[in-house]
């Protein structure tokens, strides 16, 4: 499996670097072909590659109260026809890559570069591990043009698709008030200040969620904090090298946002969402599982955001080199440091 992923990475790095020199027709076929291959790799992967495979097999035979109805529907459809659980993974992989590819095409002109960034981390994390989250995140990306256009009804309707595949997607509904307006004046100060404020709260161990004056929530949060303190759950470390790199990158994109806006109108919306995703690691640190899950589900916008660095530097090849280097770094961290897959 490692060899297959490495081949995919190298091919996409090559195609992304020379994306500007490929005709639109050929680029489209390469994009569709690469997405289809990724769907096949994720859908028909061996059963000993990821950490969640056995759990999904168990869900296939026995659902519980937390299982989304879409998984139950797909599993029952397979059980009463082919009766081979591997096709559940294949359907989820196909849905995931179809939504991701369609969303990339809607949100950016840098199709191959975005697919490369997706492969380097979120494909491994979502499409090959957290398969229900992968489809939910795809629906979220699909909803962003509606949010940008202030078509709130269509935005919320699309998010219902996300929630139907993973209940934690309900967090996406909080973004209905976000706009794609330019960051300037007091709003620029506000968005630039959010990460430092959340970092200070984290360092000072001030948990605003524990302070919520709702008995049930307050008790639950205190319980989570006790579990973390006893070492039963790994603590969140928002200041690791990867997170610091992400924070540095978001301020770089804020700095270059006006230049990027000439090429991609979604830049300000993407920046706001990325900031919220990064802040959630600090604000939800008392619940590590939730902190990682929420941050990853929101920061999926990185697959559109990071390739936009090609518009920020000259000569253009330097920007392309930055995108491919970022993808390679994320790929190495995902597989060899975070060890998302068993290789």
Indicate the pLDDT class of residue 229, thresholds 50, 70 and 90.
Answer: low
Cα–Cα dist 338/179, whole Å: 34
pTM summary value: 0.92
- Four-point Cα dihedral 298, 171, 50, 164, nearest 10: -120
Indicate the pLDDT class of residue 216, thresholds 50, 70 and 90.
Answer: very low
Mean pLDDT of all residues in 235-246: 77
Indicate the pLDDT class of residue 232, thresholds 50, 70 and 90.
Answer: very low
What pLDDT digit, counting tens, does each position of 100-152 carry?
A: 999 999 999 999 999 999 999 999 999 999 999 999 999 999 999 999 999 99
CA angle 307, 310, 316 (to 5 degrees): 150
On whether the CB atoms of residues 159 and 173 are closer than 8 A, the answer is: yes
Share of the chain above pLDDT 90, in %: 70
Asked if residue 315 has a cis previous peptide bond (ω within 30° of 0), the answer is yes
Mean pLDDT of all residues in 217-240: 56
What pLDDT digit, counting tens, does each position of 267-316 carry?
A: 999 999 999 999 999 888 877 778 888 999 999 999 999 999 999 988 88
pLDDT of amino acid 51: 85
């Amino acid at each position: 499996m490692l060899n297959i992923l490495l081949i995919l990475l190298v091919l996409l790095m090559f195609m992304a670097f020379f994306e500007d020199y490929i005709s639109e027709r050929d680029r489209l076929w390469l994009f569709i072909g690469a997405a289809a291959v990724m769907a096949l790799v994720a859908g028909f992967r061996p059963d000993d590659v990821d950490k969640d495979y056995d759990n999904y097999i168990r869900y296939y035979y026995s659902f519980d109260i937390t299982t989304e109805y879409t998984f139950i529907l797909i599993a029952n459809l397979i059980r009463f026809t082919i009766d081979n659980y591997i096709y559940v993974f294949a359907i989820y992989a196909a849905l995931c890559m179809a939504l991701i590819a369609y969303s990339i095409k809607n949100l950016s002109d840098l199709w191959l570069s975005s697919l490369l960034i997706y492969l380097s981390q979120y494909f491994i994390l979502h499409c090959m591990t957290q398969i229900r989250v992968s489809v939910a995140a795809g629906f979220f990306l699909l909803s962003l043009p509606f949010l940008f256009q202030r078509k709130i009804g269509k935005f919320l309707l699309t998010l219902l698709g996300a929630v139907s595949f993973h209940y934690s997607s309900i967090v996406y509904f909080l973004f209905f008030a976000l706009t794609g307006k330019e960051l300037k004046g007091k709003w620029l100060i506000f968005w630039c200040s959010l990460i430092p404020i959340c970092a200070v709260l984290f360092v000072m161990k001030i948990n605003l969620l524990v302070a919520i004056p709702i008995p049930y929530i307050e008790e639950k949060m205190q319980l989570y904090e006790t579990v973390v303190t006893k070492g039963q759950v790994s603590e969140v470390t928002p200041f690791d090298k990867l997170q610091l790199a992400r924070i540095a990158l978001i301020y770089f994109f804020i700095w270059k946002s006006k230049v990027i806006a000439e090429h991609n109108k979604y830049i300000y919306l993407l920046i706001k969402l990325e900031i919220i995703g990064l802040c959630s690691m600090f604000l939800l640190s008392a619940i590590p599982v939730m902190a990682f899950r929420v941050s990853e589900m929101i920061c999926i916008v990185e697959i559109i955001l990071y390739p936009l660095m090609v518009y920020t530097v000259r000569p253009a090849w330097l920007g392309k080199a930055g995108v491919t280097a970022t993808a390679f770094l994320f790929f190495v961290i995902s597989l060899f440091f975070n060890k998302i897959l068993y290789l």
